[in-house]
């Protein structure tokens, strides 16, 4: 969301409650405090979170991280990075954004089905003034703790390109109004949607029966690629043609990102490795 924290915070707070109403009670149990440390998420802490999100002045930036399990991978997580884009640090920066993520365990998808997950993603997206968003199968690590498992992560990354791997804090600093890639659910807002020619142009350029188009309003649209998200095991199958076609359309607008711990560590090789992975579905 290429807007400042004060503008997006109420929308993110509403989206968080949409998420909380859809998941089991007590699915978020820990709060990563701004001063460091992980605290139990009780009624008092919820009050502090609301104050941080909506009431406390934001001189430069604000981050909020809620998780299911303490310092271990868990299926339910909420992560938010807000920035005051008119602050001197960001005033000349066209790439910083406010960004938010919501995660679910695979068991939620299998129990409730993809239609329920899609409906939840739509409910969240309706609240947000997004430029780009997506829903995908993903590998999740608490506090972006990829380093210890980097070898396994790379192996999974290379075999299953349908698994997303992300570092929201880092991506939110460089994404701007560009795209991150093509996904099972891909949300396009302005200015990206306009740069792609609008909804009718997308319908004409993506004439696949497995792609559905849903307009949230005049500014935002959702593209759904098939009924279920796919991990895409490259030892047994190829990426579906509708995914490749969407990736080709988005390729001129896909961002560049710095190297993270689950890529080759050498700077030059790492940048190229990252670039290849981000554009893994592009020609």
Question: How many of the other CB atoms lie within 10 Å of CB of 194?
Answer: 12
Please tell me whether residue 100 adopts helix, strand or coil conformation: strand
Tell me the average pLDDT across 136-141: 90
Query: What is the reported pTM?
Result: 0.94
Using CA atoms, how far apart are residues 52 and 64, in angstroms rounded to an integer? Answer: 8
Q: How far is CA 136 from CA 168, 208, 232, in A?
A: 14, 20, 12
End-to-end CA gap in the chain:
28
Using CA atoms, how far apart are residues 179 and 192, in angstroms rounded to an integer? Answer: 8
Using CA atoms, how far apart are residues 89 and 104, in angstroms rounded to an integer? Answer: 34
Pairing type for strands 77-83 and 132-135 reads unpaired
Residue 260: what pLDDT?
Answer: 58
156-189: pLDDT as tens digits: 989 999 999 888 988 999 999 999 999 999 999 9
66-121: pLDDT as tens digits: 999 887 777 899 999 999 998 888 877 889 999 999 999 999 999 999 999 999 99
Residue 143: what pLDDT?
Answer: 60
DSSP 194-239: HHTTHHHHHHHH---TTEEEEESSSS-EEEEESSS-----TTT---
pLDDT tier, 147 (very low <50, low <70, confident <90, very high otherwise): low
Q: Average pLDDT of the chain?
A: 90
With a cut of 60, say whether residue 194 has pLDDT above it: yes
Using CA atoms, how far apart are residues 262 and 152, in angstroms rounded to an integer? Answer: 9
224-270: pLDDT as tens digits: 999 999 999 999 999 999 999 999 999 999 998 765 555 545 556 67
């Amino acid at each position: 969301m290429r807007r400042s924290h004060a503008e997006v915070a109420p929308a993110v707070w509403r989206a968080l409650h949409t998420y909380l109403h859809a998941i089991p009670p007590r699915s978020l149990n820990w709060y990563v405090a701004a001063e460091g440390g992980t605290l139990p998420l009780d009624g008092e802490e919820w009050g502090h979170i609301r104050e941080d999100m909506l009431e406390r002045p934001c001189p430069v930036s604000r981050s909020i991280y809620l998780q299911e399990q303490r310092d271990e991978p868990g299926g339910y997580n909420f992560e938010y990075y807000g920035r005051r884009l008119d602050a001197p640090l960001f005033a000349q920066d066209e790439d910083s954004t406010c960004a938010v993520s919501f995660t679910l365990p695979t068991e939620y998808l299998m129990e409730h089905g993809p239609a329920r997950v899609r409906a939840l993603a739509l409910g969240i997206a309706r609240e947000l003034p997004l430029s780009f968003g997506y829903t995908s199968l993903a590998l999740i690590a608490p506090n972006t703790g990829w380093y210890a498992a980097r070898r396994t992560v790379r192996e999974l990354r290379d075999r299953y390109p349908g698994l997303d791997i992300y570092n929201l804090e880092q991506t939110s600093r460089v994404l701007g109004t560009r795209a991150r890639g093509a996904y099972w659910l891909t949300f396009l807002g302005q200015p990206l949607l306009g740069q792609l020619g609008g909804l009718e142009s997308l319908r004409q350029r993506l004439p696949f029966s497995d792609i559905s188009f849903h307009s949230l309003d005049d500014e935002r649209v959702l593209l759904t690629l098939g009924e279920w998200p796919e991990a895409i095991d490259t030892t047994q199958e190829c990426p579906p043609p509708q995914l490749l076609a969407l990736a080709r359309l988005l390729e001129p607008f896909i961002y560049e990102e710095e190297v993270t711990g689950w890529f080759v560590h050498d700077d030059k090789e790492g940048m190229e490795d990252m670039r290849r992975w981000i554009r893994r579905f592009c020609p």
